[in-house]
Each structure stands twice: as C-alpha cells, then as structure tokens.
Amino acid sequence: MESEPGCRFEPGKIIPVINRARCENKGPCVEVCPYGVLAIQDVAEEDKRTLGLLGRMKLWAHGGRQAYVQYPDKCHGCGLCVSACPEKAITLKLTTGVDAAASHTRVR
C-alpha cells in the first residue's frame, strides 16, 4: 500500500501510544487510520490494573473497551489518529523495530 499524503515515515518507524487513562472508546482513531493500525478491544486485566479510580470508572462507563495498537508495524506516522481522538489520548513515538514489536499491542 502506498503512503497517504502527509505520511512522513516508512512503516514501523513510528508507533501510536494510547493513554489508557484518557481513551473513551469513541473510535474515530480506528475509522480514520488508512492502514488499519488500531482496533477497539476489551481492555485486558493487566491494563485495568494500571488505571486509577477515575480511569477505571471511565472505562466502566464506556463499556470496558478502548483503542489498541493492533498492527504497529503498519503505522506510517501520518498523525490522523492523533488529530481524530477527541480525548487527545494518542501520541506518536519514534521507534526501532524492537520497540514496535513490544508496543502496547493486544490482539484477541
């Protein structure tokens, strides 16, 4: 797949990082990504344990689901997901191939 206009990096050089305390499962980040990098999934128990009380309450209120980085190696760093997120829960991180494989990915 060719890069979308505005994508500055080769796939896998940048990975999205989701702030679990901010994500509210609204999903525009998933819809806007031209590479299918993100997915909405049930939040794993290990991730729930990292949340404070307010974060756990927000998670419950929003159905126990959040965005996850499903395919970090497909990210081109275009930033569309960052712009689309109403909670500002996504940042992009310059990475190495090793970091991409070890990112906050949870696939079910």
Using the 8-state DSSP alphabet, how is residue 83 labeled? H
**What confidence tens digit (pLDDT) does each residue in 16-47 have?**
999 998 999 999 999 999 999 999 999 999 99
> Distance between terminal CA atoms of the chain?
25
* Mean per-residue pLDDT of the chain: 84
Q: How far apart are CA 48 and CA 56, in angstroms?
A: 7
Domains and CATH numbers, the chain: 14-101 (3.30.70.20)
pTM over 0.85: no
Low-confidence ranges of the chain (pLDDT < 50): 1, 3, 99-108
Tell me, what's the pLDDT at 13? 87
